Each structure stands twice: as structure tokens, then as C-alpha cells.
């Protein structure tokens, strides 16, 4: 399972168009999206949940490697990472779905946008794992901008958005994918100051 996850992440980062086409063929049938509950469960079990689990463990171990190790801080850090990542994923998918229905005047398709946000976040999740385990690699922050390209390819090949809405959807989706987890993390630390590490 983790080997397939790793291959998918590498493919999404280095060959986003090919990967989106492969995902499109897996979730679309005759040009129409048909996300069956079974397919969606596979996405959750074999992609999203393992990714969030690895991120949460990385957050815990990042505190464990410090000289002034404190179990309480490690657990708090894990909780913040888990809630901000999982909540950010759902928030981004929900807002994108509402934007699609409200601004673009299209029928709501929440499962479609949950898949899109999950796969579109592959680079961000991978970079977060690296930053948690190797904080000295802060210069990798510049690669977050590559998320815009991954999303650009996804809006064309996975969401199949027409040219007139392509740029707007790319910008909105990228912004939501990048900002939603940070917003939830910020709110958590403000509302519950004890979670600050």
C-alpha cells in the first residue's frame, strides 16, 4: 500500500499530466465522472488516510528528535497537524464545490472535488513531511508554487473545465489547497493556546 502511495506521489510531482490522465480514466466513464462509493473508499483507505497518518507521525517524531523532548508537546503537535490537514482537505473541497455551484453555475459534485483536492495536495503533503522531519530544508518552500501547475493540469484533465473558467478555477483551487490547512492551524492555536508548541 505504501509503495503504491509513494509511486503515485512521485508520479504526481514529476508527471502531473500523465498522472491526472490515469486518475481520470480510473474515476471517469465515457466522459462523465462516476465516483462509486467503493472507489471513493479506496481513495480514502489507500491514499488520503495513509498520507495524513504519515504526516501526523512525522509531526510527533519531529518533536521527539529535539533535545528538550516533551511528550505533551509532541502529542499537541500531532493533534494540530492531523486536524489542520484533514480539516483543510475537507474545507478546501467543500468551498471549491460551493464555488463551482455558485460562481460557475454547475451542479454540486462534492466527491469529485474531494478527489481533486486530495490528489492536488500530493506535493504539499510530501513537502510537509520533509519539513517536519528535516526543518533545515526550509528552502524547499519555493516548491509549493509548483502546486499551481499540478492544479492547472488537474483542472484540464481531471475536472475537464472549459477554457473560460480554467484560470479562475486553477487560482481558487490552488489557493484553497495551500491556505486551508494553514487557516485551520492558525485558528486552532488562537482558540486553544495550549496547543502551541
pLDDT value for 36? 63
Locate cell 482558540: which residue? 191
pLDDT value for 37? 66
Least trusted range by pLDDT, from 7-11, 32-36, 116-120, 144-148: 32-36
> Which 8-state DSSP code applies to residue 160?
-
pLDDT value for 31? 52
> Exposed, middle or buried by CB within 10 Å (0-12, 13-18, 19+), for 25?
exposed
**Alpha helices, H only, 2-121:** 2-14, 16-27, 37-43, 49-64, 71-102, 110-120
pLDDT value for 113? 93
Which residue, among 151, 74, 72, 146, has the nearest Cα to 118 in the 3D structure? Answer: 151
CB atoms under 10 Å from CB of 38, counted, come to 8
Statement: residue 30 has pLDDT above 60: no
Locate cell 495550549: which residue? 194
Tell me the average pLDDT of the chain: 87
How confident is the model over 38-85, as pLDDT tens digits?
778 888 998 999 999 999 999 999 888 776 777 888 888 899 999 999
pLDDT value for 129? 92
Q: Tell me the average pLDDT across 115-131.
A: 93
Statement: residue 14 has pLDDT above 90: yes
Q: Would you place residue 112 in the very low, low, confident or very high pLDDT band (cuts 50, 70, 90)?
A: confident
CA distance 150 to 169: 13
Q: Specify the pTM.
A: 0.90
Q: Tell me the average pLDDT across 8-33.
A: 82
pLDDT value for 108? 87
Structural contact between residues 120 and 177, judged by C-beta atoms closer than 8 angstroms = yes
CA distance 122 to 23: 13
Statement: residue 33 has pLDDT above 60: no
Amino acid at each position: 500500500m505504501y509503495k503504491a502511495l509513494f509511486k503515485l506521489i512521485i508520479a504526481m510531482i514529476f508527471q502531473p499530466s500523465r498522472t491526472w490522465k490515469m486518475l481520470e480514466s480510473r474515476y471517469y466513464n465515457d466522459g462523465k465522472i462516476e465516483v462509486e462509493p467503493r472507489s471513493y473508499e479506496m481513495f480514502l483507505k489507500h491514499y488520503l488516510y495513509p498520507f495524513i497518518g504519515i504526516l501526523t507521525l512525522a509531526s510527533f517524531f519531529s518533536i521527539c528528535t529535539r533535545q528538550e523532548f516533551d511528550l505533551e508537546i509532541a502529542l499537541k503537535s500531532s493533534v494540530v497537524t492531523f486536524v489542520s490537514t484533514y480539516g483543510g482537505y475537507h474545507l478546501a473541497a467543500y468551498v471549491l464545490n460551493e464555488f463551482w455551484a455558485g460562481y460557475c453555475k454547475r451542479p454540486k459534485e462534492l466527491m469529485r472535488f474531494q478527489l481533486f483536492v486530495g490528489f492536488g495536495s500530493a506535493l504539499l503533503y510530501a513537502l510537509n513531511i520533509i519539513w517536519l522531519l528535516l526543518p533545515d530544508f526550509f528552502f524547499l518552500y519555493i516548491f509549493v508554487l509548483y502546486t499551481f501547475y499540478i492544479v492547472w493540469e488537474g483542472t484540464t484533465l481531471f475536472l475537464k473545465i472549459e477554457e473560460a473558467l480554467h484560470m479562475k478555477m486553477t487560482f481558487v483551487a490552488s489557493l484553497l489547497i495551500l491556505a486551508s490547512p494553514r487557516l485551520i492551524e492558525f485558528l486552532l492555536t488562537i482558540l486553544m493556546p495550549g496547543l502551541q508548541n
